[in-house]
């Protein structure tokens, strides 16, 4: 592997999830790690693990395939064993393709530098995750609708009133686009 002088610290994860799954979930998840230590890193580098075949792997084993800018680390609901795992949420990402970079070891989480992967931050082209922020907004809107008064709709008792903002967020999440891409026209 060719190393660079980029000493930007990063969190590296050895994940069975492939690129599309990481992006659709808004980050890399189900990790046992310290939120404080993970949030001290600005970036997470996803390295493909093909030792198990449940995660829709997208790249060869040991290949670094995606770097994400960490926006949040939050706890997931307890799993069946009662363990609390974390999701490393990302706000933007860059596709990378660096073969044979996982250093090995038993822990699938490592603290490294971008230079360890042969990466230079200045050379990366980041893209935002509009669908993920829309998904979060849609969940918030759904929760708000649950708390809204249940008024009868003229067309169906199952349809609840919602604001234009809630409708835009829900439609954006449904179609995987940013809220700014949704236009709603009401004709009376």
Q: Please give the pLDDT value at position 143.
A: 47
Assess whether pLDDT exceeds 70 at residue 48.
yes
Mapped onto helix, strand or coil, the DSSP state of residue 132 is helix
Same domain, 62 and 141: no
pTM, two decimals, is 0.69
Q: Please give the pLDDT value at position 176.
A: 67
Instruction: For residue 170, give its domain range.
Output: 132-181
In a domain, 1, yes or no: no
| 49-59 mean pLDDT | 90
In a domain, 4, yes or no: no
Residue 173: Cβ-neighbour burial (10 angstroms; 0-12, 13-18, 19+): buried
In a domain, 83, yes or no: yes
Look at residues 128, 155, 173 and tell me which one is the last residue of a structural domain. Answer: 128
Q: Are 67 and 97 in contact (CB under 8 A)?
A: no
Task: Give the integer Cα–Cα distance in Å for 114 and 111.
Answer: 10
| 132-138 mean pLDDT | 50
Q: Please give the pLDDT value at position 150.
A: 34
Q: Please give the pLDDT value at position 130.
A: 59
Return phi, psi of residue 113, to 5°: -125, 160
Between 1 and 170, where is the model more confident? 170
Assess whether pLDDT exceeds 80 at residue 63.
yes
Q: Please give the pLDDT value at position 187.
A: 78
In a domain, 27, yes or no: yes
Same domain, 76 and 153: no
Q: Which residues, 6 or more positions from 169, have their beta carbon under 8 angstroms from its beta carbon? A: 134, 137, 138, 140, 141, 179
Between 66 and 172, where is the model more confident? 66
Assess whether pLDDT exceeds 50 at residue 144.
no
Task: State how many domains the chain has.
Answer: 2
Same domain, 105 and 168: no
Q: Please give the pLDDT value at position 155.
A: 36
Task: Give the integer Cα–Cα distance in Å for 71 and 168.
Answer: 23
In a domain, 188, yes or no: no
Same domain, 14 and 78: yes
Assess whether pLDDT exceeds 80 at residue 152.
no
Same domain, 101 and 140: no
Residue 5: CB atoms within 10 Å: 8
Same domain, 137 and 153: yes
Q: Are 88 and 28 in contact (CB under 8 A)?
A: yes
SS3 assignment for 35-92: HHHHHCCCEEEEEECCCCCCCCCCCCCCCEEEEEEEEEEEECCCCCCCCCCEEEEEEE
Same domain, 89 and 141: no
pLDDT, tens only, 102-127: 877 889 999 999 999 999 999 999 99
Between 142 and 69, where is the model more confident? 69
Same domain, 25 and 111: yes
Mapped onto helix, strand or coil, the DSSP state of residue 159 is coil
Strands 127-128 and 9-15, how do they pair?
Answer: unpaired
């Amino acid at each position: 592997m060719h190393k660079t002088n980029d000493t930007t610290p990063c969190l590296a994860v050895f994940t069975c999830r492939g690129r599309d799954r990481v992006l659709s979930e808004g980050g890399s998840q189900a990790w046992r790690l310290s939120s404080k230590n993970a949030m001290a890193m600005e970036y997470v580098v996803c390295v493909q693990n093909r030792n198990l075949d449940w995660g829709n792997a997208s790249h060869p084993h040991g290949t670094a395939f995606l770097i994400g800018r960490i926006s949040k680390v939050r706890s997931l609901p307890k799993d069946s064993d009662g363990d609390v795992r974390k999701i490393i949420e990302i706000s933007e990402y860059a596709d990378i393709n660096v073969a044979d970079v996982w250093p090995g070891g038993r822990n699938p989480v490592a603290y490294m530098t971008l230079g360890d992967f042969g990466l230079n931050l200045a050379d990366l082209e980041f893209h935002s995750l509009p669908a993920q922020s829309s998904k979060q907004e849609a969940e918030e809107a759904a929760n708000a609708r649950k708390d809204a008064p249940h008024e009868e709709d003229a067309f169906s008792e199952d349809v609840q009133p919602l604001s234009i903002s809630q409708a835009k967020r829900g439609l954006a999440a449904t179609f995987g686009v940013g809220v700014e891409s949704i236009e709603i026209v009401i004709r009376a």
